[in-house]
Structure 1
Amino acid sequence: MIHTRQDFMQRFSMQPQPSRQRPTQQGLRPAAVLIPIIERDHGLSVILTQRSSKLRHHPGQISFPGGRHDAEDKDLVTTALREAEEEIGLARADVEIIGKLQDYPVISNFLVRPYIGFITPQEHFVRQRSEVADIFEVPLINILHQPNHFVYKLRRFIYPEVYFIPYQQRNIWGATAGMLRELADHLLPEQQQLFRSLN
């Protein structure tokens, strides 16, 4: 199993980058998110946020720090790091980008590039109150256990299925769960067919 940064790096670099067929949509705006991973004494954890209920897009949902690409951003990595600094107070110097996942279209008309970064442990994060209601950690081992992932199959949707990853009292779903699912499938491809169907 993947318990340390070294375990993660070996698995991530050894496995070929999976290529998934994406729905074709025109006019999607570029965006980026950071999947922040932190090494704790008990193992690796992923930092997630709960969006403010007052936001126009995806209010109250679980997400990664991130947002749309601004003209001032040098590239999409800059976008992900800038947004993480704004939303959770994570200094750019405290992030080491180690890779990315495949670009992910979302129903709010963005094409999101997920970057994976190991972050330096810090005493606390500072949330941007206008956008972030909460900041929390999920042990990576929970995310990588694909048999605990739920999927609901849909017709006439941007994707043919939607993933749900429950953790304690929270429900991670939508694009965030989809990206985490793809991360799990990349690291543990032997478990790609394991999930619980809801229909």
Structure 2
Amino acid sequence: MRMTPDPTDLLRAALRRPGHGSSDFDLNPETILPEGRKLRPAGVLVPITLAGDTPRLILTKRSSALKHHPGQIAFPGGKQDDGDVDVTATALREAQEEIGLPPDLPEILGHLPAHETVTSFTVTPVVAILHDPFQLTPEPGEVDEVFSVPLAHVLNPANYIVESRRWRGHKRYYFTVPFGPYYIWGATARMLRGMAARVSE
């Protein structure tokens, strides 16, 4: 897939397209989710930097010492706190804490549809463009590494693979979009797959 030097217009158009949300259960249609379940709101930032030669997506590798999702690849983000005015504020606050991103640097393009996780969160991906570089600063104890992958790689649906593993006694299927030494899977890959589908329409 060929990328223009500035993907802003491409992403804006994709975010305007109608569509449904996603979940960790999309590839497992036999899963019956309980009615009336309570989901906690969360926001994650999908930060795309234009500061280099090609557009790149910034991601984190969570600390292997964390209780939840240790060592997994993730967007900067987390659960919405009472002091956050909305999920965009959540995503910006968490990105500042996790990777040192100044909150006034990103140009917010919009939101992808919310994603429901197996951990009972409804996660809103906030897509943002970074025109200027900044000093990446991983949060000690929470983030082992901050890295980037070419945006063109995650926007190409052909790069996604469906894999499976045993989870709570059942085989669970999920998307992956590997890049080099980085195994991007689960909720992060599913949200990126949704973005890729919108861009490809």
**What TM-score, normalized to structure 1?**
0.85
1:113-155 Cα distance to aligned partner (Å, 9 max, x none): 0000012432421110111000001001111222121013689
Match of 1:127 in 2: 138
Q: How does 1:92-103 map to 2 (within 5 A)?
A: 92-103=103-114
Where relative contact order (Cα < 8 A, 6+ residues apart) is larger, the structure is 2
Q: Does 1:59 align with 2:76?
A: no
Contact 1:70 1:79 (C-alpha < 8 Å) held by counterparts = yes
Query: Structure 1 residue runs of 4+, over 6 Å off?
Result: 153-157
Contact 2:163 2:173 (C-alpha < 8 Å) held by counterparts = yes
Contact 1:87 1:132 (C-alpha < 8 Å) held by counterparts = yes
Identify unmatched segments of 5+ residues in structure 1: 190-199
Change (3 A) 1:188 1:8: farther
Contact 1:27 1:109 (C-alpha < 8 Å) held by counterparts = yes
Identity of aligned residues (%): 36
Query: Which SS does the other structure have where 1:171 is aligned?
Result: coil
Match of 2:18 in 1: 17
Q: How does 1:134-173 map to 2 (within 5 A)?
A: 134-152=145-163, 161-173=173-185
Contact 1:164 1:172 (C-alpha < 8 Å) held by counterparts = yes
Query: Which SS does the other structure have where 1:179 is aligned?
Result: helix
Amino acid at match of 2:74: S
Q: How does 1:25-104 map to 2 (within 5 A)?
A: 26-104=37-115
Instruction: Give me the whole-angstrom Cα distance separating, in 2, the residues matched to 1:174 and 1:21.
Output: 12
Aligned residues: 188
Contact 1:2 1:8 (C-alpha < 8 Å) held by counterparts = no
Change (3 A) 1:64 1:21: closer
Match of 2:120 in 1: 109
Identify unmatched segments of 5+ residues in structure 2: 26-32
Contact 1:57 1:108 (C-alpha < 8 Å) held by counterparts = no
Instruction: Give me the whole-angstrom Cα distance separating, in 2, the residues matched to 1:123 and 1:11.
Output: 22
Contact 1:49 1:132 (C-alpha < 8 Å) held by counterparts = yes
Instruction: Give me the whole-angstrom Cα distance separating, in 1, the residues matched to 2:70 and 2:189.
Output: 16
Instruction: Give me the whole-angstrom Cα distance separating, in 1, the residues matched to 2:86 and 2:100.
Output: 20
Query: Which SS does the other structure have where 1:152 is aligned?
Result: strand
